[in-house]
Amino acid sequence: MYITKLTFKNFMGYKQLSLPKGTKEFPKGLILVCGKNSYGKSTIFEGIVFAFFGPKIFKGRNAASFITYGESKAELTIFFTLDNKKYNIFRRWGRTGATTTKLFEWDKTTYREIKNFNIEKFFEISSEQALSTVFVRQGEVEELANKKGADLREMIIDLFRLDIIDDALNFLDVESKKRKFSKENLERNKVPIERIEEDINRITLENANFEKIVKEKKKKEEEYGKKIKNYPSDELITNLEKLYSQKNIVNDKFLSNKKDFEEKIKSTELKIDDFKHVKKIVDKIEDTLKEKKKLTQIKELIEKRREATIRGLGKTKGKIEDSKRKIKKMEDSLKFTTREGGLESAQCPTCQNELTKEHFDEMILEFNTDLKINNEKVKSITKIIDNFDVKINSCQNKLEKINESVIRIQGLKDDFENYQKYEAELRKVQEELDGFLTKYQSKFADTKPEKIKLLSIEKEKLYIESKAITLEIKEKQNNIKNNIDRIVDLRNEIKHMKKLEKEIGEFEIDIDHISKAKEFVRRFVTEYMVVKRLVKNIASTTNKYIKDFTSGQYSDLTIDLFGTKKTGLSLKIMDNFNGVPESIEVLSGGDKTALGMALRLAISELMSKIRPTKESPKKNPKIDILLLDEPLAALDETRRERILKHLVKSKTFSQIFLITHTAIPSDFNTHKIIVNKDHSTGISTARFEGETSQILY
């Protein structure tokens, strides 16, 4: 890569700068930037850096401070060629903060913008790396030679992107942590196999015990079965029980009826034997009923007579009343008067005939005689009636007695028939029972009713016990089955644990490998990478320059690493005058600068050649130019010349801009940018002068 042209507008001291003028372009190789102090040399350097990497690369300075005093905005354009392609980068920014950055690529006839570019990606170099290699700022060369070993080591590590190693270590750390985490997770789930085996043994023992119990219980179950078989069937037992209970019920009824009957018969003239032939009783009832009929007829007859007699009594009483009325009427209505003759007479109210007192008295007497007779009659009739009443009452009493007797005998007959019925029923039940017993006697040990009741209870008890045993057997068998399942599970768990242990082991191996890998990577960085390879390379590349730059006084730079970040690198150099290696601290300022320059060139050169690790960018940094700001200031003329000559010859970099304010030997013919400044306006100007002729060294 090399820069072909640059234009600045309002960039610090430059109001308008265009180098080279017109259609000319910068050549490859060394270009000196010459001019007096503060004329604007470094400004050119800064303009190029700004154009490429922007203001952020200048720590502690803001973009606005680069704009020419009094102006509001500035512009930079750098034209360059990279891999035979032409580009230009353009930046414009103002004091207000507005910025434009554009990258263009030449496409046959015109520049086309590359959108969304990233300059670090484009150049494949970070701005920091660029600052440490491509752009060597004022004072940095001396600084490098004076750098402490540790800083130098850090710088090398940074420059050569050995921080990739840190990434690798971090990656390994993460991997290791991941595995440790996984391993811990597995360990958390781990159960000691011995413990599982103990469980298996315990369960196996338990099962053996269960099996023993099952065996015993089965034997018992069988015994119970046999026992139950020896018992009569439930049906037989219930049937027999039913018969017994039927017999009891019928017997009770029979007895109570019999007792009632016997009780009742006591109050009669009858004997139990009388009932043996029911005909007798029936006859008796019939006789009694006949008697009743007869008696009823007699009673009715007497009653009829009594009625007639009462009627007679009534008539007689009527006659008496009649006589009494007649007497009273006559006595009340007859008025007797004494007639001539002294005869007393009265007129008959009925016939109007003359009634004498004598006649009247005769009539009264007659009436009174009738009264008397009739009264006598009433008395005798009343006696007859009373007599009838007595007879009727006696009949009535007899009838009632007969009725009672009939009812009683009838009741007794019913009772008798009842108890006879129950007796027959009892006989029937007894027969049934006897029949049952003759048939099934052999099935029963004892057929006594109380034994039968016990039998069914015993049998029920046996059933319950047998059932309990069966249940227990089932339960134990279930336990055994569950235990077997559990053992299978536990065996699987052992398998699982073995797998787990294997996995844990694998993780342990992995973790071990990773930690070894980390160790190896660390050693690789400290020993191999830095000491053996890189450092050796830096030393040997530096050596190429150092002898030349110090007129042969120094050579054989050795860079030692004492291993740690603290001690860093220790630089020693062979003093060819006295033949001993010297620590670089004892070198003169000029020699230190020369060594610094050599180191700087070596590092920059290596940067473009070495791929320290596989992960380093495949392509070398695309910027293979070098901008050196005043690297020669502290050198004497001879050394300056040697370095310049070397740079002119150098093919390591495609283009080198070297800023110097010191006089360059007039015979030193090379490309130059000559910087000037108008002191009255403070405006810098510059022009490009190509070499005048080929110089031969």
Ligand X SMILES: Nc1ncnc2c1ncn2[C@@H]1O[C@H](COP(=O)(O)OP(=O)(O)O)[C@@H](O)[C@H]1O
* Long-range Cβ contacts of 163-168 (<8 Å, 24+ apart): 164/613, 164/615, 164/616, 165/521, 165/524, 165/525, 165/529, 165/613, 168/521, 168/615
Q: How far is the CB of 32 from ligand X (least distance, A)?
A: 13
Within 8 A by CB and 6+ apart from 235, the residues are: none
The listed partner (Mg ion, ligand X, none) that binds 43, CB under 5 to 8 Å by sort, is ligand X
Beta strand spans in 328-373 (E): 337-338, 344-347, 354-356
42 contributes a contact to ligand X by CB under 6 A: yes
Q: Which does 47 bind (CB under 5 to 8 A by kind): Mg ion, ligand X, none?
A: none
Judged by CB under 6 A, which stretch of 41-49, 336-344, 528-536, 643-651 contacts ligand X?
41-49
**Cβ nearer to Mg ion, comparing 375 with 676:** 676
Please give the residue whose beta carbon sits closest to ligand X in the complex: 42
**557 within 8 A of 569, measured Cβ to Cβ:** no
**567 exposure class (CB count in 10 Å sphere: 0-12, 13-18, 19+):** middle
Instruction: Examine residue 12 and tell whether it contacts ligand X (CB under 6 A).
Output: yes
Nearer to Mg ion, 94 or 682 (CB): 682
Q: Give the interface segment with ligand X, choosing from 33-41, 122-130, 282-290, 410-418 (CB under 6 A).
A: 33-41
Contact 478, 157 (CB under 8 A): no
176 near 515, Cβ under 8 Å? yes
* 665 secondary structure, DSSP code: P
Residue 39 binding ligand X, by CB under 6 A:
yes
Looking at the Cβ atoms of 13 and 621, the one nearer to ligand X is: 13
Closer by beta carbon to ligand X, 337 or else 681: 681
Identify which of residues 12 and 632 has a Cβ nearer to ligand X in the complex. 12
Give the per-residue contact string, 95-114, with ligand X (x = CB under 6 A; - = no). Answer: --------------------
Interacting residues of 664 by C-beta distance below 8 A, sequence separation 6+: 32, 34, 644
> For ligand X, which residue of 37, 337, 438, 693 counts as binding (CB under 6 A)?
37
Report residue 188: phi and psi, to 5°: -60, -35
In which residue are the tokens 């089955």 written?
481
Helices (H) and strands (E) in the chain, counts: 14, 18
Residue 577 touches which member of Mg ion, ligand X, none, C-beta under 5-8 Å by kind:
none
- Minimum CB–partner distance for residue 662 and Mg ion (Å): 12
Q: Which does 13 bind (CB under 5 to 8 A by kind): ligand X, Mg ion, none?
A: ligand X
Residue 31 burial class via C-beta count within 10 angstroms: exposed 0-12, middle 13-18, buried 19 and up: buried
Among 18, 25, 27, 38, binds ligand X (CB under 6 A): 38
Compute the distance between CA of residue 619 and CA of residue 626 in angstroms, rounded to an integer: 18
Q: Minimum distance between the CB of residue 41 and ligand X, rounded to whole angstroms?
A: 3
Which two three-digit tokens encode residue 528?
């191999």
Residues in the interface with ligand X (CB under 6 A) total 14
Using DSSP, state whether 343 is helix, strand or coil: coil
Smallest separation, CB 539 to ligand X (Å)? 33
Question: Residues 6 or more apart from 271 whose CB is under 8 A from it?
Answer: 265
Distance, CA of 159 to CA of 448 (rounded, Å): 120
User: Considering CB distances under 5 to 8 angstroms, the limit depending on partner class, which of Mg ion, ligand X, none binds residue 6?
Assistant: none
CB closer to Mg ion out of 624 and 630: 630
Nearest to ligand X of 13, 631 (CB atom): 13
Q: Is 135 in the site for ligand X (CB under 6 A)?
A: no
- Name which of 320, 322, 329, 421 is nearest 372 in CA terms: 320
Q: Which of 9, 28, 41, 600 binds ligand X (CB under 6 A)?
A: 41
In whole angstroms, how close is the CB of 642 to ligand X at the nearest point?
24
CB of 570 to Mg ion, least distance (A): 33
694 binds ligand X (CB under 6 A): no
The distance of closest approach from Cβ of residue 145 to Mg ion in the complex, given in angstroms and rounded to an integer, is 20
Nearer to ligand X, 35 or 621 (CB): 35
- The residue among 45 and 79 lying less far from Mg ion, judged by its C-beta, is 45
Q: Which of 40, 612, 621, 631 binds ligand X (CB under 6 A)?
A: 40
Question: In this complex, which beta carbon is closest to ligand X, that of residue 67 or of residue 455?
Answer: 67
For residue 533, the 8-state DSSP code is I
- Contact yes or no for 54/695 (Cβ under 8 A): no
Partner touching 38 among Mg ion, ligand X, none, CB below 5 to 8 Å by kind: ligand X
Whichever of 92 and 547 has its CB closer to ligand X, that residue is 92
The total of other beta-carbon atoms located within 10 Å of residue 158's CB is 14
- The residue behind tokens 């022009």 is 687
Letters for 46-85 (x = contact with ligand X by CB under 6 A, - = none) are ---------------------xxx----------------
- Shortest distance (Å) from residue 67 CB to Mg ion: 19
Minimum Å gap between C-beta 16 and ligand X is 13
Give, as ranges, the residues between 627 and 686 that touch ligand X (CB under 6 A).
Answer: 682
CA distance 179 to 322: 159
Q: How far apart are the first and last CA of the chain?
A: 26
Residue 307, Cβ neighbours under 10 Å: how many?
A: 12
Q: CB-wise, 41 or 91, nearer to Mg ion?
A: 41
**Cα 404 to the chain's mean position, in Å?**
96
Q: What is the dihedral of CA 123, 125, 126, 131, to 10 degrees?
A: -100
Q: Give the sheet arrangement for strand 110-114, strand by strand.
A: 14-19, 2-11, 73-82, 85-94, 99-107, 110-114
Binding site for ligand X (CB under 6 A): 12-13, 35, 37-43, 67-69, 682
